[in-house]
Amino acid sequence: MDRRIFLRTSGLTGLALSTLSLSACTSAPEQGKQPDGAGPPEAADSFELNEATVNDLQTKMSGGQLTSRAITELYLKRIEAIDQKGPRLRAVIEVNPDALSIADALDKERKAGKVRGPLHGIPVLIKDNIDSGDKMQTTAGSLALAGHKAAQDAFIVKKLREAGAVLLGKTNLSEWANFRSSRSTSGWSSRGGQTRNAYITDRTPSGSSSGSGVAVSASMCAVAIGTETDGSVVSPSSCSGIVGVKPTVGLLSRAGIIPISATQDTAGPMARTVRDAAILLAALAGVDSADAVTQESTGKAQPDYTKFLDTNGLKGKRIGVEKGHLKGESDAVPLFQQAVALLKAQGATIVEVDVEKQTDSLGEAEYNVLLYEFKDGVNKYLATAGAPVKTLQDVIAFNTQNKAKAMPFFQQETLESSQKLDGLASPKYKEAVSKSRNGARHALDSTLQKDKLDAIVAITNGPSPCIDLVNGDSWKGPGFSSPAAMAGYPHITVPMGLAHGLPVGLSFVGSAYSEASLFTLAYAYEQASKLRVAPKFQGPLVG
Q: Residue 293: which residues within 8 A CB-CB, separation 6 or more? A: 249, 250, 254, 262
pLDDT confidence of residue 256: 98
- At 8, the pLDDT band (50, 70, 90 cuts) reads very low
Say how far apart CA 444 and CA 511 lie, in whole Å. 7
- State the DSSP code for 466: B
Tell whether the model's pLDDT for residue 195 goes beyond 50.
yes
Say how far apart CA 199 and CA 216 lie, in whole Å. 13
pLDDT confidence of residue 24: 58
Q: Is residue 258 part of a domain?
A: yes
Q: Say what percent of the chain tops pLDDT 90.
A: 90
Q: Residue 373: which residues within 8 A CB-CB, separation 6 or more? A: 259, 260, 261, 262, 263, 424
Q: Is residue 11 part of a domain?
A: yes
Query: pLDDT digits over 448-502, tens only?
Result: 999 999 999 999 999 999 999 999 999 988 999 999 999 999 999 999 999 999 9
Q: Say what percent of the chain tops pLDDT 70.
A: 92
Tell whether the model's pLDDT for residue 32 goes beyond 80.
no
Catalytic-role residue among 60, 127, 158, 170: 127
Q: What's the gap between Cα 20 and its chain centre?
A: 21
Q: Is residue 536 part of a domain?
A: no
Classify the C-alpha dihedral 102-108-109-110 as positive or negative.
Answer: positive
pLDDT confidence of residue 45: 87
Say how far apart CA 68 and CA 61 lie, in whole Å. 7
Say how far apart CA 111 and CA 510 lie, in whole Å. 42
β-bridge mates for residue 246, sequence order: 491
| 162 contacts 119 by C-beta, under 8 angstroms | no
β-bridge mates for residue 495, sequence order: 505
**Averaged pLDDT score across all residues of the chain:** 93
pLDDT confidence of residue 44: 64
**What is the mean pLDDT of the segment spanning 39-48?**
65
Among this protein's residues, is 127 annotated catalytic?
yes
Q: What is the CATH number of the domain that holds 301?
A: 3.90.1300.10
Say how far apart CA 217 and CA 332 lie, in whole Å. 20
Nearest alpha-carbon partner for 363 in 436, 438, 460, 263: 436
Q: Can you give the residue range of the structural domain that contains 513?
A: 5-529
Number of domains in the chain: 1
Catalytic-role residue among 132, 208, 261, 418: 208
- At 25, the pLDDT band (50, 70, 90 cuts) reads confident
Query: pLDDT digits over 438-448, tens only?
Result: 999 999 999 99
Tell whether the model's pLDDT for residue 20 goes beyond 50.
no
Q: Residue 5: which residues within 8 A CB-CB, separation 6 or more? A: 15, 16, 17, 231, 473, 475, 479
Say how far apart CA 208 and CA 341 lie, in whole Å. 31
Query: pLDDT digits over 343-397, tens only?
Result: 999 999 999 999 999 999 999 999 999 999 999 999 999 999 999 999 999 999 9
Cis peptide, bond prior to residue 208, ω within 30 of zero? yes
Q: Residue 529: which residues within 8 A CB-CB, separation 6 or more? A: 339, 342, 494, 495, 496, 497
Q: Is residue 541 part of a domain?
A: no
Catalytic-role residue among 189, 219, 232, 297: 232
Q: Is residue 377 part of a domain?
A: yes
Say how far apart CA 252 and CA 398 lie, in whole Å. 32
Among this protein's residues, is 210 annotated catalytic?
no
Q: Which helix (H) or strand (E) holds 494?
A: strand 491-499
Among this protein's residues, is 405 annotated catalytic?
no
Q: Residue 542: which residues within 8 A CB-CB, separation 6 or more? A: 23, 24, 28
Say how far apart CA 479 and CA 465 lie, in whole Å. 14
| 172 contacts 509 by C-beta, under 8 angstroms | no
pLDDT confidence of residue 26: 58
| 444 contacts 487 by C-beta, under 8 angstroms | yes
Tell whether the model's pLDDT for residue 37 goes beyond 50.
no
| 406 contacts 190 by C-beta, under 8 angstroms | yes
Least confident residue range of 16-30, 386-400, 414-428: 16-30
Q: Is 169 left (phi over 0), alpha (psi -120 to 50) or beta?
A: left
Query: In this structure, are strands 223-228 and 243-246 parallel, antiparallel, or unpaired?
Result: unpaired
Query: pLDDT digits over 308-327, tens only?
Result: 999 999 999 999 999 999 99
**What is the mean pLDDT of the segment spanning 112-119?**
98
Query: pLDDT digits over 450-463, tens only?
Result: 999 999 999 999 99
- 3-state DSSP call for residue 124? strand
Q: For the whole model, what pTM was predicted?
A: 0.94
Q: Is residue 178 part of a domain?
A: yes
Q: Is residue 326 part of a domain?
A: yes
User: How many Cβ atoms sit within 10 Å of the Cβ of residue 469?
Assistant: 12
The residue that leads in pLDDT, 29 or 339, is 339
